[in-house]
Amino acid sequence: MKKWILGIPLLILAEGFLFAQGDLRKNPAIFYRNERSIGILLNSNGWGVSARFAKRMNARNKNIWEIDFANIKHPKEVKITNSYANNRSFVYGKTNLFFNFRGGWGKQKEIYRKIDRGGISIRRFFSFGPVLGVLKPIYYEVYKTDGTGNPPQYYISEEKFNAGLGHGSIYGRASFFKGINEISVMPGIYGKFGMSFEYSTSDINIHAIETSVSLDLFPKKMEILATDQNSFYYLTLSVSYRFGKVVDARGIVKESNSGY
């Protein structure tokens, strides 16, 4: 999966060079611009979304502020399907859903400027800041018997995972909202470094493929599975599609229409 994540930008880059001999810009590109964008992330340990604001410093550099949300899975997770319960699936031994919220500052530098329509602008960026880890307990629907009837009467009970709970007695996972009042949070810090390949043919719109590596650090282990192999740090490889608009687009449109 890591090879697939890192290989996508190379395909996008190759496509850009194939079309690099396309239509030339009739007007000079506007490089002094602020941007707002949204990213959809496919991570090596889950998925996420991101919001970013980039403020220009000069023609090649921007300050960035970003907010990320991600769902993080344990690398040992294995889904089990219960064929007796309409093929409902669950992860045996999972004790908590783990989400993190990041809020950070960083910088972005354009290292290759897009000249022709259909070309690619290559940028590198980094960010760092606080992260808030959120653990929400998981409840399972478990087969139970009262042991008094003949035959015994069966019912379903909602319980947290415990060592004596066999996967054969689990009907499925209970509602997401079960245990939501038991949420716990843990503050930490994160750092991220990445590359962005922006390929939009418009000076107003933003379309980019990004790859990044990030590290989340917490003061103690975050329990996802009922095992000693939980961790206090999470190294994540990501590929994302980012789209957005230039904040000061009115000035770009005006200058483009004037023919300068």
pLDDT digits (tens, 9 = 90+) for 114-160: 877 678 999 999 999 999 999 999 999 888 877 666 677 778 888 99
Which one-letter DSSP state was computed for residue 244?
Answer: E
Residue 163 CB neighbour total at 10 angstroms:
6
- 6: pLDDT strictly greater than 70: no
201 with 215: CB under 8 angstroms? no
- C-alpha torsion angle, residues 111, 115, 119, 123 (rounded to 10): 20
Mean pLDDT value across residues 196-219: 93
- Out of 35-39, 161-165, 215-219, pick the least confident: 161-165
Q: Is the pLDDT of residue 253 over 80?
A: no
Q: How large is the average pLDDT for residues 230-248?
A: 93
Answer for the pair 161, 125: CB distance below 8 angstroms, yes or no: no
Check pLDDT > 70 for residue 15. Answer: no
* Lowest mean per-residue pLDDT among 122-126, 161-165, 188-192: 161-165
The yes-or-no verdict on residue 14 having pLDDT over 50 is no
Q: In Å, what is the CA distance from 90 to each residue of 78, 128, 156?
A: 8, 34, 16
Residue 203 structure tokens: 């000076």
Structure confidence by residue, pLDDT tens digits, 94-111: 999 999 999 999 999 999
Q: SS3 of 204, please?
A: coil
Torsion, Cα of 41, 126, 235, 69 (10° steps): -40
Name the pTM for this structure. Answer: 0.79
DSSP states along 4-18? HHHHHHHHHHHHHHH
The partner residues of 170 in beta bridges, in order of sequence, read: 142
Q: Which of these, 93, 76, 232, lies nearest to 173 by C-alpha position?
A: 93
Specify the CATH number of the domain 2-74+94-136+178-257.
2.40.160.20
Over residues 46-93, the pLDDT tens digits come to 999 999 999 998 888 999 999 999 999 999 998 888 766 666 788 989
Domains of the chain, residue spans = 2-74+94-136+178-257
